[in-house]
A and B are shown apart, each in its own frame.
Chain A
Amino acid sequence: MTTIAPGEESLAALETDFDAAVAADERIEPRDWMPDAYRSSLVRQIAQHAHSEIIGMQPEANWITRAPSLRRKAILMAKVQDEAGHGLYLYSAAETLGASRDELLDKLHSGRQKYSSIFNYPTLTWADVGAIGWLVDGAAITNQVPLCRCSYGPYARAMVRVCKEESFHQRQGYELLLALSRGTEAQHAMAQDAVDRWWWPSLMMFGPPDDESAHSAQSMAWKIKRHSNDELRQRFVDICVPQAESLGLTLPDPDLTWNEQRGHWDFGPIDWDEFREVLKGNGPCNDQRISQRRRAHEEGAWVRDAAAAYAAKHGEGNR
């Protein structure tokens, strides 16, 4: 007979309760007991999600001052503002797990936490703003809608709000591309070029193939993730093919063919070397993105210090 030390017994009971709650599709809330690895896995995922919203502002903000009509400029400004808001929701969700926003930002700035690889690609033309809306936000939504049922309550609730706004942005991106596609020859070419450049990086947003995905199995067991990377990627391709057709644009993949037996679109091989290089920091804009973020933070330090000093003098810190 094995001896069970005091504490271990109750730990086992807690684990049993946790597993039962997850199995019953109950939501785990901040005050509930959870395994350390569940907590740290969620902090990592939510933080990287938040970081992606914040870094993701840059490629689009790049076009705010050049937007070609006041209507488009207003839409783009509102979108970038929403992204900052999504970052705030997500940092708050991560804080319910005991992390702090400052600490997470510090990890972003020092390269110890990542953000979505997609934002290391440059926005070279106005049509890129549309391609990001249609493809990048589309891929994000495909990823995030199942997260609305994630086992961790605060994350799931943040995702409900984020997905509503993202869907709106995606439709606006699609509509932007449609206007270009139906516009002048030069505008149509601009739209096609943007889709050509953003298609493959968007497919990479779903992460490595299932047999190479380090965190997938555990995340699915904990019901943080609901579908595998490859399942979600396939779902996205199936949605995009008819949309591209109605846009009057082509997708840059000669292997795209309808597979009657599978009931899905077959698509060509993804360049995983490129994906790994971008993740390693060797993408086109990695340095630029992180430098700008660091600079904004460093140059803003005196403003944050001023707010803290004022709050200390006037007792706002004690509220």
Chain B
Amino acid sequence: MKPVPTAQAPATADSAPAAPAPAGSLARDVAAAAPALALGDDALVLSHRLGEWAGHAPVLEEEVALANIALDLLGQARVLLSLAGDEDELAYLREERAFRNCQLVEQPNGDFAHTIARQLYFSTYQELLYGQLASGGSPLAPLAAKAVKEVAYHRDHAEQWTLRLGDGTEESHERIQRGLTALWRFTGELFEPVPGLDVDLPALHDAWATRIESALTRATLTVPEGPSRGAWTAGAGRQGLHTEPFGRMLAEMQHLHRSHPGATW
């Protein structure tokens, strides 16, 4: 029977923000694992959120599209988490303070516009990030080279919907603008350096902002004003500081696995 790791002490995250520090038996080569864990958690958590749409999408074609994006992300998560350790131990036996995903991806789905806004911000970021990573010499380069094609499709899907919602009806325009504005404060974190990741993230910010601005302008929408991160949460998710809905999401995700310690599925 595998030991169930105990909750990670918050002090660990404070004193060593670079460490992914999955507790107990989960710890491996921490330095190599850190970037894989951060990007893997992003993909895992967003995939989970998109999976919540199954059976609830506004049109059948979107059942297919959202599930398809969720599957791509889950595939990426599995490769990345396997670089950091055992994919299932990492997904199912860490508590929320040990997760390294950015806060944007853990945000609840809200309405379809909210989901599309989250996807537009994140896919645009991921396409730039994986593009850079693919051309570098990091151990993540092969994954990035394959995944960049997937995320280009995700970004296109989100952009196409941003156009349709922004330049559709008055109601859809308001809804997508509201989603974009509500999620804006989680975008700054995307460009915080990720320890061990061989990409200059702050340098990607300009390209990201240009692309978002261009998509929103074409969609007759405005780029939100105000800070792109909350005051106390700078770099938060990457240090294991999450928002309240995340714990509930993990409770649902992990409950069955944790109820049968040591079982294989």
Binding site for B on A (CB under 8 A): 54, 57-58, 61, 64-74, 77-78, 80-81, 84-85, 87-88, 91, 126, 176, 179-180, 183-184, 186-187, 292, 295-297, 299-310, 313-314
Contact = CB atoms under 8 A, between A and B. Distances in A.
B172 A64 contact: no
3 closest A-B pairs (Cβ-Cβ)? A300-B58, A306-B168, A306-B172
B57 A61 contact: no
Given A65-B252, A77-B54, A184-B260, 9 more contacts: A68-B256, A70-B74, A71-B78, A73-B74, A84-B60, A88-B60, A184-B263, A299-B58, A313-B167
Given A84-B63, A126-B256, A179-B264, A302 B56 contact: no
Given A65-B252, A70-B77, A310-B164, A77 B51 contact: yes
Interface in B132-176: 163-165, 167-169, 171-172, 175
Interface in B55-77: 55-64, 67-68, 70-71, 74-75, 77
Interface residues of B, number: 49
Interface stretch (B9-17, B86-94, B195-203, B223-231): B86-94
Given A68-B256, A80-B67, A179-B264, A307 B164 contact: yes
B71 A310 contact: no
Nearest to B61: A88
A84 B67 contact: yes
B64 A302 contact: no
A78 B47 CA distance: 12
A13 to B, nearest CB: 41
Contact of B64 (A66, A84, A299, A313): A84
B211 interface: no
B178 interface: no
A81 B71 contact: yes
Contacts of A308: 168
Contacts of B63: 57, 80-81, 84
A81 B64 contact: yes
A203 B51 CA distance: 31
A69 B263 CA distance: 10
B28 interface: no
